[in-house]
Structure formats: structure tokens, C-alpha cells
Amino acid sequence: MSSESCEINQALREMLETGVSAVLVTLVESPKSGAGLEIGTKFVVDDLGRRIATLGWPPLDDAVVAAVPGFLSSRDEAKLIRAETIAPDISDFAGAALLFERIEAEPQLVIAGAGHVGAALARLAALVGYRVTLIDDRAEFLRRELFNSDRETGIELVVAKDWHEALRIATANGRGVSVAIVTRGHKQDEECLRAAISTQPDYIGMIGSKRRTNIVLEKLREGGANEAALNRVRAPIGLDIGAVSPEEVALAILAEIVAERRGGSGAALSSWRRA
């Protein structure tokens, strides 16, 4: 393995560990002008614009870096891109084709509260492909035999002696992490929310009526919590699908989390409207 391949592999491992998204770009067709570029050359650009390796031609590297944000904001996992589409004014790129591949860590969902809704949400999120951490201060709600399917055995169960510390540790990476607070009371909600906003995860939602969630938010506001961080909290949590059962509530919550991650609107795809 070449030194460049080792550098790329090491960089990708570190990105996955820290929740950084990136694009792996592979040259699959060389420009017609030649330019001495080797098919199969790889180049990595992360979501902050940092570069690993080179395609062998700085102007082509620059064009790729400029195209990466648009690719990452799309829903494509991989896409073949002609150089002309990203650098139409530079004729030297004519004929080059590049494979863009999305590189991102498995999404993580941290659930505070293992009651009926929390347990249902953990099971559903594991099925969808999330790495799930389920936290509660009641050990009897976290018995392994309650989560014994193939997917569910991958759920991390954490008995919290201290809600704040448990949430802080579980959400330490911040990036790529969603937090659902579905505890049984104001006190637990407040502790969990204070910890969650300190690590700046991608999504924070809190269950409860508007009155209950507003009480918690106001307490944190009075305690000096960052206003911008509080404004990002989804409370009450989830999309309005008319959910009643714990499983339906879990579905409404996960739907909002997926929409946030994928950039979806949560609106119906059809033009049908209830009369």
C-alpha cells in the first residue's frame, strides 16, 4: 500500500471516529488533455474543506473542493460527476470523470429515558441503522432480555447514577449525534437538556406538553443557558402524525430526527389533502 493510501485510510478512520463527514473522490476517467493524471487516484475533502492527498493537478483539486459542499448537502451516497459540470470554464478538464462517495459515521441516537416511548424508540432506531445509547436511572428498565433481537443487542444500555454526567459522556462527539429526552419528569428533563446543549449535538428534542417543555426551557434560560442553543431544541419532540401509542410516538420522533439529518421537510410527498 502506498504512503498516500495509508494517509487516506488513516484520515478516514479519524473522521469516522470524530463524526466528521467527508467525500472520497476517485478519478475514473482522465482529462482528454492528458495532464499526466492517473486513473484511480484518490482525494479526500471533509465538510470543513480540509484536503487529504491530491488528484495530481491543483486546479482540479480546487474545482473538486468547491463542488464538495453541494454534494454533501444532497441526498446522494455516491455520484459520477463530469469535470465540465464543476469547472465549465476550464477546458483542460474536458473528459475527466470523478466518482464522489459520501463518507460519514453511523448516526448515533442517545435516548434519555427507557420508559415505553424510550424503549420503543431505541428498538425502531436500531432497526433503521442508528447506533443507539439508551439511558435511565432505573436498572430494571434496562435489562438486556428486554432487547434481545439481533439489532437490539447492539443497543448500549447505560444505568445513570447522574443524568447530567451520563448524557455528557454519551454525546461527547456532538457531530452526528441526535438526542431524544423522554424522561419521566421535569427534574430529569432539566438535567439531561443542560448536558445535551453543552455538547452541541446535531439534534435535541424533548417530550412533553408545550407547558411542561416551556417550564424546563425557562429554567435553563434563567440559569444562563445559551439562547441560541435553547432555540434549537425541538419541544415538544416529533412530527405531528396523530400518534397515540408509544410505538407511534417513537415513529413520530424518529421521523423528525431523520428529516433533520437528511434535510427533509416532513411534508407529505403527495398533493392529497384531508377534506
Mean pLDDT to the nearest integer, 97-111: 91
Neighbours of 141 (CB within 10 A): 17
b/e string for 47-78 if b means 16 or more Cβ within 10 A? beeebbbebebeebbebbbebbeebbeeeeee
- Confidence class of residue 59 from pLDDT cuts 50, 70 and 90? confident
Q: What percent of the chain has pLDDT over 70?
A: 95
Query: Residue 95 has which C-alpha cell?
Result: 473528459
pLDDT exceeds 60 at position 179: yes
Return the higher-pLDDT residue of 125 and 175.
125
Give the distance between the most distant pair of CA atoms in the chain. Answer: 68
pLDDT, position 274: 61
pTM above 0.75, yes or no: yes
pLDDT, position 159: 95
pLDDT tens by residue, 136-148:
999 999 999 999 8
Rounded to the nearest 10°, the torsion over CA 70, 74, 241, 109 is -90
pLDDT exceeds 80 at position 7: yes
pLDDT exceeds 90 at position 113: yes
The structural domains of the chain, ordered by start, are: 3-103 (no CATH), 108-262 (3.40.50.720)
